[in-house]
């Protein structure tokens, strides 16, 4: 990652301290690398959950339309 491809984000000092304390127990060389990884993992999880929720909602709508007679089985 080069400075030209990154942006700064302000974090509370307590978070930075916790990340720096964990660095020695990780494969990451810097707090920035570790924080980037954690954020990517959280976003991937949330985005996956959103996709699953959309599928459930579509199924609920389809079931409701069938129960009202607008769609056939």
In a domain, 55, yes or no: yes
Task: Give the separation between CA 63 and CA 38, rounded to whole angstroms.
Answer: 38
In a domain, 1, yes or no: no
In a domain, 5, yes or no: no
Please give the sequence-ordered ranges of beta strands (E in DSSP) within 1-73, or none if there are none: none
Task: Give the separation between CA 68 and CA 33, rounded to whole angstroms.
Answer: 53
In a domain, 66, yes or no: yes
pTM: 0.60
**Residue 2: per-residue pLDDT:** 61
Spell out the residues 6+ positions from residue 11 whose beta carbon is closer than 8 angstroms to its own: 35
In a domain, 12, yes or no: no
Domain that holds residue 70: 29-73
User: What is the number of structural domains in the chain?
Assistant: 1
pLDDT in tens, 20-60: 999 999 999 999 999 999 999 999 988 886 666 556 688 88
């Amino acid at each position: 990652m080069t400075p030209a491809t990154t942006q700064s984000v302000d974090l509370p000092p307590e978070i930075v301290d916790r990340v720096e304390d964990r660095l020695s127990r990780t494969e990451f060389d810097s707090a920035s690398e570790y924080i980037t990884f954690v954020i990517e993992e959280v976003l991937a999880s949330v985005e996956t959950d959103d996709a699953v929720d959309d599928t459930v909602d579509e199924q609920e709508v389809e079931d409701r339309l069938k129960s009202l007679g607008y769609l056939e089985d």
